Amino acid sequence: MYLCTLMHILKKNILIVGFFMVALSACSDFRKIQKSDDWEKKYNAAIKYYEEEEYYKSSILFEQILPIIKGSEKAEKANFLYGYTYYYQGQYLLASHYFKTFYDTYNRSEFAEEARFMHGYALYRDSPRYNLEQTSTKQAIVALQSFINRFPQSEFVPKATSALNDLQVKLEKKAYEKCLLYYKLKKYQTGEYLKAALVAFDNFQDDYPDSKYVEEIRFLEIEATYKLAEVSIFSKKKERYSEAIRFYEDFIETYENSEYLKKAEKIYENSLEELRSLNI
């Protein structure tokens, strides 16, 4: 029993040592290629590393030889794969930059269409969660829409369209959360905040008229207008209660079975009562 255990440990150690020897040898080979003055050797190694999915090593070698082979026949493929080495490492902004550079430089290349798509798709992959700053999301939308406009028959259009839909939903969700912010922070429901909320509601409906959130936003518009009337100076109350009634009437024309109907009706009745008292 003891002998069997010892043999097992020895075999395991031999495998570990063997693994490290291979790793050290591979590392040594890469270092030798990296220090070599033979650009063609580096080019071939970069392609090989790329095919073996060792994208970091591939990117290092491509970076070294790209200035040297500029204008040559092999520069086109090297520049194209260089963008992918960053994409597969998850460095999407750099990948997007290099794909755009490729397209701008080789716009007649067989890879140009794919590079134009990948420029936008890499930005899509870099797009953050909806509740964070959305600059790259907006850039991705512009890039992907531009690609679809330029290559409407491309095989990449379905993937670009799907990514665009995801990005639009993300912006829609962020805009929706911005609208709700004024209602989550109850203590800030002053006249100025309510006016800002109404502007946000109006902008949301303009930007996302088909959104699933529009029904709720239109109800909140009634509620916010009524609350604004309550905190308004006397000369503004009649106008704002009347506006709340108008918003209610428009709302029930579209959402006669809405889950917000009872609350909206209560606001409507209260607004009528306030107007009657103001006319005394």
Kindly report, residue by residue over 18-77, the tens digit of the pLDDT.
Answer: 443 344 445 688 999 999 889 999 999 999 999 999 999 999 999 999 999 998 989 999
Q: How far apart are CA 93 and CA 99, in angstroms?
A: 10
Q: How far is CA 201 from the centre of its chain?
A: 23
pLDDT in tens, the chain (280 residues): 555 554 455 455 444 434 433 444 456 889 999 998 899 999 999 999 999 999 999 999 999 999 999 989 899 999 999 999 999 999 999 999 999 999 999 999 999 999 999 999 999 999 998 888 899 899 999 999 999 999 999 999 999 999 999 999 999 999 999 888 866 665 556 788 888 889 999 999 999 999 999 999 999 999 999 999 999 999 999 999 999 999 999 999 999 999 999 999 999 999 999 999 987 5
- What pLDDT is stored for residue 65 in this prediction? 96
Which amino acid, 148? I
Give 193-202's long-range contacts (Cβ < 8 A, gap of 24+): 194/224, 194/227, 194/228, 194/231, 195/228, 197/224, 198/224, 198/225, 198/228, 200/175
- Structure letter (DSSP) for residue 72: S
Q: Quote the pLDDT of residue 109.
A: 96
Give the pLDDT confidence score for residue 190 in this predicted structure: 73
Residue type, 239: E
Q: What is the pLDDT of residue 16?
A: 43
Helix intervals (H) in the chain: 2-35, 39-51, 55-69, 75-87, 92-105, 112-126, 135-150, 157-184, 191-207, 214-231, 234-254, 261-278
Q: Which two tokens stand for residue 203?
A: 């902008």
Radius of gyration of the chain from Cα atoms? 31
What is residue 278's predicted lDDT score, i.e. its pLDDT? 87
Query: What sign for the dihedral angle of Cα 88, 94, 97, 103?
Result: negative
- Nearest C-alpha neighbor of 122 from the set 110, 104, 140: 140
**What string of DSSP letters covers 157-216?**
HHHHHHHHHHHHHHHHHHHHHHHHHHHH-GGG-SHHHHHHHHHHHHHHHHH-TT-TTHHH
DSSP classification of residue 29: H
Q: String of b and e for 231-248 (b: at least 16 CB within 10 Å)?
A: ebeeeebeebbbbbbebb
pTM comes to 0.79
The pLDDT value given to residue 19: 41
